[in-house]
Amino acid sequence: MTKPDLTGVSILILEDEVLLRKQIHSCLEKLGADVTSVESVERARKLAHDLSFDFALLDVNLPDGLGTDLLKEKAFSAATGVIIMTAQGGVDGAVEAMRLGALDYLAKPFDPLELPLVMSRVRRTKQSERLDEHQKSDSPRGTDGFFFGSALAPLHAQLDKILAADHRMQSGLPPVLIHGETGTGKTTIARWLHGNGPRARQPLVEINCSALPETLAESELFGHERGAFTDARTARMGLFEAANGGTLFLDELPSLSLPLQAKVLTVIEDQKIRRVGGNREIPVDVRIIAATNRDLKATVAAGDFREDLFHRLDLYRVEITPLRERGEDILRLAEALMDRLAKRHRLPRKPIHPAGCQSLLSYRWPGNVRELSHELERAIVFEENEELKFDKLHTIAVQPFPTQPTPLNPAANLVNTPVATLSASDDWFRPSFTFPQEGFALEEAINRLIHHALKQTGSNVSAAARLLGVSRDYVRYRLAGQKQPQEPGKDSPES
């Protein structure tokens, strides 16, 4: 049987029986825990106020009061798992303690070696609570599988090799880097890898790094101790801890600041995290899957991504082919998506007309699978024909872009700068756009996009750059009215 490891776990023991207190203290300390023992309610109350503990073991009846009084007073933070120790006759008191927030209890006398098992149960409960909290604030998870088809057969074979290695290793799994254009299915691949791997029964925590506010990102990822900053009234578990034993999916990882990237690298290397405001290291066993639509080599060259982190992530790199390069698989994927969408909307399944097949094959699909799914859903719901033709993919009339756009000026109040409504039916800012016969002003279109991104982000250049998928320097160049620099790693426009 594997010896329990409590390395880095902080535990408070409140027990007035000297022999039992020393016995428990010694047992837990040998397992690597950071143990503090006290004999009175008052001492425990003061320590709970000044320090944060992972666990608190509380006797009920003590010379100066009841251990359960600390629960009534909410002396411990929500991050502390409280376990009650009670004599056989005090089970009713233990039940009352659990009503007040204790997560488990032990009836005296007990073997101190039972404690690690109880703590494991409590830790899983705390993880589940933190995961529930995260998933309530996150977007709903799709459960549909990934369609590989013949075009992605090499990708499927590569993933099978990764899974075979994972099943051999079980623990200490190396990170996976998924690269692909927006909408190609990076998140679905991450779920597929987790769901088919050795950690399928463990947590999968998904984080969109580009959506994390910079001021809160470190606390969200690594947690914080009470008093770490102004609003930190209680200690809080981070998502690395919540994913312990499972998988952490970091979507758009390059959106994190360089200091946070360094902390992620440290977790990969050392398998330990440190909460904000904390001074102790907490062991975590987390499989990291990172995803991005950026050219990371170019991002490293631009100074926006750490080179050491890139090399550490680059062991298992998964490249997802864009939809436009998958040939006839587009039609097979469309059929599979149509089946799911028809079931979701409880509508009859419509066949695709040969002209519709040609439209699907000839369209460039800048939004990839996500755009295809939306276009199919629109057709199923709104097209009245017996067969789907997808005429609007290429035939929507557009209004020429204005020839005199408002010049970009960093000193201007960009929040109030007039910007054309992007949802108008005659606007070019849509996947179904086709070029007008009189031509199109690309430079002006880029300026307009930057205006819109700045307006959306309240003139925050860094946030606008993240929305646009370019570097801050690129946006600053455009704002300064200088000549457009060639984006690193970008291919020349297709003829």
pLDDT tens digit sequence for 303-339: 999 999 999 999 899 999 999 999 999 999 999 999 8
Q: pLDDT tens digits for 326-335?
A: 999 999 999 9
What is the domain range of residue 457? 414-479
Q: Which tens digit of pLDDT belongs to each residue from 77-87?
A: 777 888 888 87
Dist CA 311 CA 42 (whole Å): 52
Instruction: State how far the Cα of 455 lies from the Cα of 447, in Å rounded to an integer.
Output: 12
More confident residue, 408 or 336: 336
Q: Are residues 91 and 196 in the same domain?
A: no
pLDDT exceeds cutoff 70 at 222: yes
CATH number assigned to the domain comprising residue 273: 3.40.50.300
Whether a cis peptide bond, with omega within 30° of 0, leads into 405 is no
In a domain, 491, yes or no: no
User: SS3 for 105?
Assistant: strand
Please report whether residue 31 resides in a domain. Answer: yes
What CA–CA distance (Å, rounded) separates 82 from 102?
5
Check if the beta carbon of residue 207 is closer than 8 Å to that of residue 187: no
What is the per-residue pLDDT for 424?
38
Chain centroid, CA 41 distance in Å:
41
Name the burial class of residue 473, with classes exposed (0-12), middle (13-18) and buried (19+) by CB atoms within 10 angstroms of its CB: middle
Question: 329 and 313 in one domain?
Answer: no
CATH number (domain holding residue 38): 3.40.50.2300
Query: 3-state secondary structure string, 1-14?
Result: CCCCCCCCCEEEEE
Q: Quote the pLDDT of residue 85.
A: 87
24: its two tokens:
């428990």
| pLDDT for the residue numbered 266 | 94
C-beta separation of 168 from 162 below 8 A: no
Clarify whether residues 380 and 279 are in a common domain.
Answer: no
488: in domain: no
C-alpha to C-alpha distance for 321 and 179, rounded to whole angstroms: 9
Residues 47 and 165 in one domain: no
Is the model more confident about 392 or about 10? Answer: 10
Q: What's the mean pLDDT in 254-265?
A: 94
Q: Are residues 167 and 289 located together in one domain of the fold?
A: yes
Q: Do 163 and 310 belong together in one domain?
A: yes
Do residues 195 and 304 share a domain? Answer: yes
**In terms of pLDDT, which residue wins out, 181 or 407?**
181
pLDDT band at 5, cuts 50/70/90?
low
pLDDT tens column, 148-177: 989 999 999 999 999 999 999 888 899 999
How much is the pLDDT for 10?
A: 83
Phi first, then psi: what are they for 85, rounded to 5°?
Answer: -110, 120
Structure tokens at 476: 């600053």
**Residue 309: is it exposed, middle or buried by C-beta count within 10 angstroms (0-12/13-18/19+)?**
buried
| Per-residue model confidence (pLDDT) at position 101 | 84
260 & 180 share domain:
yes
Question: In this predicted structure, what is the pLDDT of residue 494?
Answer: 39
Is residue 81 in a domain?
A: yes
Asked if the model's pLDDT at residue 393 lies above 90, the reply is: no
State whether 203 and 285 are in the same domain: yes
Q: 272: part of which helix (H) or strand (E)? A: strand 272-273
15 pLDDT exceeds 90?
yes
Q: Are 325 and 333 in contact (CB under 8 A)?
A: no
- The whole-chain average pLDDT of the chain stands at 81
Residues 157 and 282 in one domain: yes
Residues 291 and 423 in one domain: no
Q: Are 364 and 183 in contact (CB under 8 A)?
A: no
Read off the pLDDT band of 89 (50, 70, 90). Answer: low
Identify which of 42, 70, 55 has the alpha carbon closest to the alpha carbon of residue 104: 55
50 shares a domain with 163: no
d(CA 398, CA 408): 24
Q: Is the pLDDT assigned to residue 426 strictly greater than 90?
A: no
pLDDT(405) > 50: no
- The more confidently predicted of residues 471 and 201 is 201
Q: Provide the CATH number for the domain around residue 464.
A: 1.10.10
What pLDDT does residue 425 have? 40
pLDDT class of 126 with cuts at 50, 70, 90: low
Could you give the number of structural domains in the chain?
A: 4
Distance CA 410, CA 397 (A): 34
Q: What is the pLDDT of residue 177?
A: 97
State the Rg of the chain over Cα.
28
Question: Residue 70 and residue 41: Cα distance in Å, rounded?
Answer: 8
Q: Specify the pTM.
A: 0.62
- The per-residue pLDDT for 295 is 92
User: What local confidence, expressed as pLDDT, does residue 488 receive?
Assistant: 44
Q: Please say if the pLDDT value at position 482 is more than 60.
A: no
